[in-house]
Structure 1
Amino acid sequence: WEEASLAGRCKSVAFDTLPVELEWMKDGLVVGLVGQKYWGWGYDTIQMLYDYVAHGKRFPDWVDSGMDIVTEHNVDAMIEAWETHDFTKPLPPPFPQ
């Protein structure tokens, strides 16, 4: 897989945007990553709980927290998010026009 990926004969997309997968992208082993919105997991959930308890606000049974798509065009921004532990800034577009 590694040899084929580096030679351009294998195009791989992986799940998660953790530092190890970002390193694979920088090394040319994967061309795309699909990851969960790490900030949304905790922050949004607690905000919804607060709004429910404090204000009686109702929410749908299913709430999509979104996903991050990482390509060579925005991998550096995701690396910066991990280095600074700041996932609040939106990533640049993965496929610029």
Structure 2
Amino acid sequence: MLALRDLQKSLPICGALLTMALALGGCSSQLADYTPTDAQAHPREPGTYLPVHDLPPDRDQAIIPPDQRAKIEAELAAARDRQSVAAKDAK
């Protein structure tokens, strides 16, 4: 009689554990399935350092021509002045 009572108590627990194991097992998959087909392969030599001797292009070159830079600065200054006037009027 005692064994039957123990079996009745442990049966729901075993069922819950089995259900949880099956649910978690269904969630697992290969990570390779998620990589895109056009992804670059990783290098075979895992301990290589990044090339530190490669420097960025020279900063002396103007990226924006001076005439366009002056125009942008004037537009920003005008916008700043308009916002300060609007902020004073809002008070």
Using structure 2 for the length normalisation, give the TM-score.
Answer: 0.22
Structure having greater relative contact order (Cα 8 Å, sep ≥ 6): 1
Pick the structure with more helix per residue.
Answer: 2
More strand by share: 1
